[in-house]
């Protein structure tokens, strides 16, 4: 099938590349000329494991193409996905002006039937607005349908998630749209759930909000564990053995970040208020996540006392491992809070440093792990990259001014760390601390 993708970002590019990998002909459109120039040289503008290889292969097989003009996509592609960004406004509401702009651009060019699919995460009723917008420009209803097909990819494992989906949600309002989307997803061999548009839109917001709530919940449990000397990893394991709860997304941390959970929670909360069905629990989740970052910083202050002019080595800047994405990374708030207390930050991340430099000021960026640790008064581990899980701890102890580690990702065993002579502070496992 010929598929158009409007918006070649974290979601659009990986989705487009994976569709091409599954045998479709894909045209990715983006109005960022620099991005398109890079992609035309088969270079990925983002770090995403496995993506570069798929790009190389599908471009070589002439199944994946890039352009900055939407004309070709509307002319040649029967199914067009809207994957532009939906950034949050000041009040948390999703800014849908790019979605509207793209809908108008498509409408103006419609000459034969096209299925327009929203893939960007959008609040409920956006599909209805897309349809209204198109209708205002192109009244011929036989020329288009609007559908919703939310993505559930996690950055860092996006390629795997798209190629091995646990479900495909098709929000459609007629059999023609359903048939086309079913055909598109046939090679993926995954369970398909067909719903109306609004339910499909809600599945995405509700799923992300539920997952974020799960993380906030275990982080609150971690704080109670710290208070009584229990182990949150054990509590999570015990809870997760109940199939009604399940083991995933119960990893205590410095708080969730990224371009989805914080933004989607705020947008869902705002939408619920607008609809007169206020979802107060979501505001509590947002508050709890903010508090978790402060909780980590307070641990540092409680144990180092004055931070003024103390050097803190920070390992990890990206909002999670295996991505270079810094959007809403909890590390930004944490580093800024440490800096506000007078701490000097030296930091390293295997992939996110270039993006970090755009948002974090007055940080000394180091070339590698051990350079970051060297001479620091304490080490803070903020992202769970594999290489931070395998530190040469004897070397770390020698390089640090004093053997103090704040681990925001629970990468090590507190008892072992104590044996090795570290003061090791983590999240919800005070047993090994003194
Ligand atoms: C996506 C979604 O669309 C968002 O709703 C979801 O919650 C997270 O994933 P993402 O892919 O991460 O956003 O955004 P980004 O990497 O910024 O990509 C969006 C792309 O759309 C950019 O490359 C931008 O240049 C392009 N764009 C934006 C257009 O081509 N046209 C526009 O009018 C606006
Ligand atoms: C998320 C959803 O998982 C995905 O389905 C959706 O389509 C987009 O949003 P993503 O934001 O890429 O994906 O990453 P995810 O793995 O969900 O992690 C989000 C944040 O939660 C990260 O900051 C991560 O460190 C944190 N997290 C995750 C925890 O703190 N604990 C956990 O147990 C899981």
How far away, in angstroms, is 122 Cα from ligand 1 center?
Answer: 12
Q: Measuring from atom 1 of ligand 2, which residue has the nearest CA? A: 154
Query: Which of 85, 256, 327 should be mutated for ligand 2, with most atoms under 8 A from CB?
Result: 256
Residue 338 near residue 300, CB atoms below 8 Å:
yes
Phi, psi (deg, nearest 5) at residue 421? 95, 15
pLDDT per residue, tens digit, the chain (434 aa), is 999 999 999 999 999 999 999 999 999 999 999 999 999 999 999 999 999 999 999 999 999 999 999 999 999 999 999 999 999 999 989 999 999 999 999 999 999 999 999 999 999 999 999 999 999 999 999 999 999 999 999 999 999 999 999 999 999 999 999 999 999 999 999 999 999 999 999 999 999 999 999 999 999 999 999 999 999 999 999 999 999 999 999 999 999 999 999 999 999 999 999 999 999 999 999 999 999 999 999 999 999 999 999 999 999 999 999 999 999 999 999 999 999 999 999 999 999 999 999 999 999 999 999 999 999 999 999 999 999 999 999 999 999 999 999 999 999 999 999 999 999 999 999 865 55
Q: Which residue has the tokens 């909780």?
A: 295
* Cα–Cα dist 51/168, whole Å: 21
Ligand nearest the Cα atom of residue 288: 2
Q: Which two tokens stand for residue 404?
A: 């103090």
Torsion of CA 69, 70, 74, 80, to 10 degrees: 130
* Cα–Cα dist 79/26, whole Å: 10
β-bridge partners, 66: 28
Q: Alpha carbon of 137 to those of 28, 108, 143, 187, 245: distances in Å?
A: 24, 7, 12, 35, 48
Residue 2 near residue 27, CB atoms below 8 Å:
yes
- Looking at residue 430, its pLDDT comes to 83
In terms of C-beta density within 10 A (0-12 exposed, 13-18 middle, 19 or more buried), how is residue 33 classed?
Answer: exposed
Q: Which residues contact 333 (CB under 8 A, 6 or more apart)?
A: 290, 293
**308: Cα separation from own chain's centroid:** 33
β-bridge partners, 144: 114
Q: Which residue has the tokens 């004055």?
A: 306
* Per-residue DSSP letter, 4: E
Catalytic residue chosen out of the listed positions 28, 225, 260, 426: 260
Residue 118 near residue 127, CB atoms below 8 Å:
yes
- Looking at residue 369, its pLDDT comes to 98
Residue 123 near residue 268, CB atoms below 8 Å:
yes
Among the listed residues 331, 338, 332, the one whose alpha carbon sits nearest the alpha carbon of residue 312: 338
Percent helix, percent strand, percent coil in the chain, to nearest 5? 50, 15, 35
Residues with CB under 6 A from ligand 2: 151-155, 208, 211, 215, 249-251, 253, 256-258, 260-261, 319-320
Angle formed by the axes of helices 197-228 and 232-240, to 10°?
140
Residue 234 near residue 431, CB atoms below 8 Å:
no
- Looking at residue 308, its pLDDT comes to 96
The reported pTM is: 0.94
Active site residue 225: no
């Amino acid at each position: 099938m010929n598929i158009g993708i409007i918006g070649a970002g974290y979601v659009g590019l990986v989705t487009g590349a994976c569709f091409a990998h599954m045998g479709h002909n894909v045209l990715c459109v983006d109005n960022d000329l620099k991005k398109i120039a890079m992609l035309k040289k088969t270079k990925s503008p983002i770090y995403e494991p496995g993506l570069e290889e798929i790009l190389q292969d599908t471009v070589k097989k002439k199944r994946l193409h890039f352009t900055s003009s939407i004309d070709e996509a509307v002319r040649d592609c029967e199914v067009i996905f809207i994957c532009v960004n939906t950034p949050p406004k000041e009040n948390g509401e999703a800014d849908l002006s790019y979605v509207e702009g793209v809908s108008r651009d498509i409408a103006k060019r419609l000459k034969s039937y096209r299925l327009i699919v929203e893939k960007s995460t959008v609040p409920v009723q956006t599909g209805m607005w897309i349809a209204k917008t198109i209708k205002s420009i192109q009244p011929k209803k036989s020329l288009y349908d609007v559908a919703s097909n939310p993505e559930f990819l996690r950055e860092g494992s996006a390629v795997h998630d798209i190629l091995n989906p646990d479900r495909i949600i098709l929000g459609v309002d007629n059999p023609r749209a359903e048939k086309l989307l079913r055909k598109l997803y046939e090679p993926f061999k995954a369970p398909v759930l067909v719903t109306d548009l609004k339910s499909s839109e809600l599945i995405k917001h509700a799923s992300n909000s539920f997952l974020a709530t799960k993380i906030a919940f275990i982080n609150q449990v971690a704080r109670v564990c710290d208070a009584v000397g229990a182990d949150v990893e054990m509590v999570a394991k015990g809870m997760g053995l109940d199939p009604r709860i399940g083991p995933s997304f119960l990893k205590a941390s410095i708080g969730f970040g990224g371009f989805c959970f914080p933004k989607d929670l705020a947008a869902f909360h705002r939408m619920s208020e607008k609809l007169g069905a206020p979802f107060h629990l979501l505001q509590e989740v947002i508050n709890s996540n903010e508090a978790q970052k402060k909780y980590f910083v307070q641990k540092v202050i409680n144990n180092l006392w004055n931070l003024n002019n103390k050097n803190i080595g920070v390992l990890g800047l990206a909002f999670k491992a295996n991505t270079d994405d810094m959007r809403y990374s909890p590390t930004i708030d944490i580093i800024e809070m440490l800096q506000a207390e007078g701490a000097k930050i030296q930091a390293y991340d295997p992939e996110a440093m270039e993006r970090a430099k755009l948002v974090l000021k007055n940080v000394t960026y180091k070339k590698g792990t051990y350079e970051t640790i060297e001479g620091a008064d304490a080490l803070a581990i903020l992202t769970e990259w594999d290489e931070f899980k395998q530190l040469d701890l004897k070397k770390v102890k020698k390089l640090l001014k004093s053997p103090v580690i704040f681990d925001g990702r629970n990468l090590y065993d507190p008892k072992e760390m104590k044996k090795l002579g570290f003061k090791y502070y983590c999240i919800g496992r005070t047993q090994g601390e003194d």
